[in-house]
Structure 1
Amino acid sequence: MADKLKIGVLGASGYTGADLVRLLATHPNAEIRVLTANQQAGQPMRAVYPHLGGLDLPDLVKWEDADWSGLDVAFCGLPHGTTQEIVAQMPDHLKVVDLSADFRLRDPDVYAEWYGHEHRALQLQEQAVYGLTELNRDAVTGARLVACPGCYPTAVLLALVPIVQAGQVDAGDLVIDAKSGVTGAGRKVAQQLLFAEVGEGIHPYGVAKHRHAPEMEQEIGLAAGGRPVHVSFTPHLMPMNRGELVSCYVRLSDGETADSLRARLAERYAGEPFVRVLEPGESPATRNVRGSNYAVMNVFADRIPGRAIVICAIDNLVKGSSGQAIQNMNLMTGLPETTGLGQQPLFP
Structure 2
Amino acid sequence: MDLSTPPPDLYGRPRADTFFRFLTAFGDRYSPALGGPLLRRNPRRPFSRPTEALQLVVTARRRVAADVVELTLADPSGGPLPGWQPGAHLRLTLPSGRERHYSLCGDPADQADQAGPAERSGYRIAVRRLPDGGGGSAEIHDTLHPGTRLTARRPRNGFAFCAEPAVLFLAGGIGITPLLPMVREARRNGLDWHLVHTGRSADTLPFAAELRALDPARVHLRTDDEHGGPPTGTELLAHAPRGAAVYCCGPAPMLTAVQRALDASPAASLHFERFGAAPVTDGEPFTVRLGADGPELPVPADRSALDVLREARPDLPYSCKQGFCGTCEVRLLAGAPDHRDRRLTPERRADGALLPCVSRAAAGETLVLDL
The structure, 1 or 2, with the larger RCO (C-alpha pairs under 8 Å, 6+ apart) is: 1
| TM superposition score normalised by structure 1 | 0.31
Structure ranking higher in strand proportion:
2
Structure ranking higher in helix proportion:
1
| TM superposition score normalised by structure 2 | 0.29
Please tell me whether Structure 1 or Structure 2 has the larger radius of gyration of its CA atoms: 2
